[in-house]
């Protein structure tokens, strides 16, 4: 099977490519434009194993400039993960970057796909599209994003639906809930928390730290994402991909103190903006359609991320 992964050098994308290549029937074309130049060294490190793989081809190109007619082929599967991430940085003048990379890129890719008979187009979305909700959130809940980032991702979903209904593009939408684990971006919470503890720096915490998240380990996230490739009953569906546990930020810091053996210093830095107080995924649909069952609990997942970051810091010291 020929599979295109956009955002292939990113946190989730690099893990996804590795997992897809375990199937000897798959050929993977990874595309990444390195839209954040400062993260390029990290992304190249993410990709060091797959770049050597005989069934992997890497295309380094901006998705707004790529000639899709030379990339797309009949019966391709596309995983569209490429996007500008981050809630807090999506405000003000930065919004233009989010529009370009989350809306215009998606529109341009869908325009190219409408003239090619694809097998599947799997769009990576986010729990940020839901906004503030109480209790477990199912896929039929109303969407009401609280941030410009969430707005751009929801717009991407609507574009997918438009091209599905008008041009028959075979769309499946996956909504990820707070993914963590090895290779997590430096701006993401667990990465920052671990770095601060290891370097004896105060951990910046927004709000009172009692806000909770449904945390999804990267390995579980990828298994759910890959499952959408092989089942036949997910076209036109929106599916939540969540984790095994919901915890508060303060509870996460307590777990990190336990596994590092170091006491954390917390610096409360002000109110959150554009973020819901709580997230909690109802993954019943994923269980039925994808046989999805996350297995990695937070303490185990955080240990994996800790070991990964400790290895990175040791390399940097050499």
List, for residues 293-302, the tens digit of each pLDDT value. 999 999 999 9
Task: Tell me, yes or no, whether 187 lies in a domain.
Answer: no
Tokens of 245: 């546990």
List, for residues 42-57, the tens digit of each pLDDT value. 898 999 989 999 999 9
Task: Tell me, yes or no, whether 305 lies in a domain.
Answer: no
The domain spanning residue 77 has which CATH number?
A: 3.40.50.720
List, for residues 22-34, the tens digit of each pLDDT value. 999 999 999 999 9
Task: Tell me, yes or no, whether 195 lies in a domain.
Answer: no
Name which of 153, 106, 126 is nearest 239 in CA terms.
Answer: 126
Alpha-carbon distance 215 to 218, whole Å? 10
Read out DSSP for 215-256? EEEHHHHHHHHHHHHH-SS-TT-EEEE--SEEEEHHHHHHHH
- Over 90: is that where the pLDDT of 92 sits? yes
Name which of 145, 122, 65, 150 is nearest 236 in CA terms.
Answer: 122
Give pLDDT, residue 39.
84
Task: Compute, in degrees rounded to 10, the torsion defined by CA atoms 228, 231, 232, 237.
Answer: -30
Segment 217-222 mean pLDDT = 98
Give pLDDT, residue 67.
96
Name which of 211, 178, 206 is nearest 85 in CA terms.
Answer: 178
Segment 255-267 mean pLDDT = 97
- Over 80: is that where the pLDDT of 173 sits? yes
Query: Which uninterrupted H or E stretch holds 58?
Result: strand 56-60
Tokens of 56: 């992997």
Name which of 1, 89, 78, 2 is nearest 39 in CA terms.
Answer: 89
Alpha-carbon distance 41 to 177, whole Å? 26
Give pLDDT, residue 318.
66
274: left (phi over 0), alpha (psi -120 to 50) or beta: left
Task: Tell me, yes or no, whether 142 lies in a domain.
Answer: yes
Give catalytic status of residue 176 as yes or no.
no
Q: Which residues have a Cβ under 8 Å from the Cβ of 18 and sit 6 or more positions away?
A: 49, 50
In which domain, by residue range, is 226 found? 2-181+215-243+280-294
- Over 80: is that where the pLDDT of 282 sits? yes
Task: Tell me, yes or no, whether 301 lies in a domain.
Answer: no
Task: Tell me, yes or no, whether 307 lies in a domain.
Answer: no
Q: Which residues have a Cβ under 8 Å from the Cβ of 80 and sit 6 or more positions away?
A: 6, 7, 106, 109, 121, 122, 123, 124
Contact 62, 33 (CB under 8 A): yes
Domain count within the chain: 1
Task: Tell me, yes or no, whether 96 lies in a domain.
Answer: yes
34: left (phi over 0), alpha (psi -120 to 50) or beta: left
Catalytic residue among 79, 123, 149, 292: 149
Task: Tell me, yes or no, whether 75 lies in a domain.
Answer: yes
- Over 70: is that where the pLDDT of 115 sits? yes
Give pLDDT, residue 98.
98
């Amino acid at each position: 099977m020929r599979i295109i992964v956009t955002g292939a050098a990113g946190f989730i994308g690099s893990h996804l490519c590795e997992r897809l290549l375990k199937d000897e029937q798959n050929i993977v074309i990874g595309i990444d434009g390195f839209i954040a130049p400062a993260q390029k060294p990290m992304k190249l490190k993410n990709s060091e194993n797959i770049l050597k793989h005989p069934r992997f081809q890497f295309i380094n190109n901006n998705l707004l400039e790529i000639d899709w007619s030379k990339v797309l082929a009949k019966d391709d599967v596309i995983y569209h993960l490429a996007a500008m991430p981050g809630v807090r940085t999506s405000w003000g003048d930065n919004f233009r970057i989010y529009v370009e990379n989350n809306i215009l890129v998606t529109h341009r890719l869908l325009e190219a796909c409408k003239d090619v008979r694809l097998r599947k187009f799997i769009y990576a979305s986010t729990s940020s599209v839901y906004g503030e909700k109480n209790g477990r959130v199912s896929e039929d809940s109303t969407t009401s994003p609280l941030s410009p980032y969430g707005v751009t991702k929801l717009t991407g979903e609507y574009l997918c639906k438009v091209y599905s209904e008008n041009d028959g593009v075979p769309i499946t939408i996956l909504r990820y809930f707070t993914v963590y684990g090895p290779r997590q971006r430096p701006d993401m919470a667990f990465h920052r928390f671990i770095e601060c503890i290891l370097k004896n720096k105060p951990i910046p915490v927004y709000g009172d730290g009692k806000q909770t998240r449904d945390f999804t380990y990267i390995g579980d996230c990828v298994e759910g994402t890959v499952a959408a490739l092989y089942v036949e009953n997910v076209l036109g569906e929106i599916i939540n991909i969540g984790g095994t546990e919901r915890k508060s930020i303060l509870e996460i810091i307590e777990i990190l103190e336990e596994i590092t053996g170091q006491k954390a210093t917390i610096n409360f830095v002000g109110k959150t903006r554009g973020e819901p107080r709580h997230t909690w995924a109802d993954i019943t649909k994923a269980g039925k359609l994808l046989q999805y069952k996350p297995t990695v609990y937070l303490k185990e997942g955080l240990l994996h991320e800790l070991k990964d970051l400790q290895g990175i810091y040791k390399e940097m010291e050499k």
